[in-house]
Amino acid sequence: MDDEKAFELLKRYRMKVPDYEFCKKEEEARKTIKRIGFPIVMKVSGKNIIHKTDVSGVRTNIRSEEEAIKIFNELMKIKGTEKILIQKMITEGYEIIIGGKKDPQFKKLIVLGAGGIFTEFLKDVSFRISPLTPEDANDMLNEVRFSELILKGFRGQKPASKESIINTILAVSRLMEADPKIKEIDLNPVFATSQDAIAADVRIILE
């Protein structure tokens, strides 16, 4: 699924995303940068680009218009790029991964896993068969080891909002149930802050 449509779908299901805009022209980028404010993140977007990092298509912590426009033009030259996603950079929260996928045996699986500095817990994941209840989502969060850190506060950060994480897990389950064409959803990373769970990137694969 096109990145732009994927972000629109998240918003339709009331999932939080950073302030963003997709831009094809430098003039559009300048207007977006002024509206969003710094720091920002830029990412390539194109139907043939599966993993943005594989093509060096992600730039973070951009803090000036001059730097931003230079990077915008550089990214537009990457093969397969159709437009650039310009986002407000999330500077707080814990990185986690929430997703869903069709499985031949279990039909539809929802997954919660670690991201960012918690990648040492790569195998620290929890699965449930969709559709989920709030109790299922709560149990998933309780099962992963990193939840003890993020729900209490870690490295000087405020505790993550348990309710926001659970609501996002449930929203992914609802989306998987509502659209039979969706084969896989990957929200990576999701920034779990003290008030929200913000999906900074999304990949949706259709059958």
> pLDDT digits over 47-78, tens only?
988 888 889 999 999 999 999 999 999 999 99
Q: Are residues 115 and 157 in the same domain?
A: yes
Among 66, 88, 110, give the residue marking a domain's end: 88
Q: In Å, how far are 16, 93, 94, 118, 151 from 157, measured between CA atoms? A: 20, 7, 9, 14, 10
Do residues 9 and 204 touch, judged by C-beta distance below 8 A? yes
Residue 112: the pLDDT is 97
Say which CATH number the domain at 102 has.
3.30.470.20
Would the pLDDT of 155 be above 90?
A: no
Residue 121: the pLDDT is 58
Among 88, 118, 145, give the residue marking a domain's end: 88
The domain of 175 spans: 94-206
Show the tokens assigned to 64: 């000036």
pLDDT winner (highest mean) among 46-50, 151-155, 171-175: 171-175
Please provide the average confidence, as pLDDT, over all residues in the chain: 94
Torsion angle (degrees, nearest 10) of CA 194, 196, 197, 198: -120
Q: Are residues 70 and 115 in the same domain?
A: no
The pTM (predicted TM-score) of the whole model is 0.93
Helix (H) or strand (E) holding 63: none
Q: Are residues 160 and 105 in the same domain?
A: yes
Would the pLDDT of 94 be above 90?
A: yes
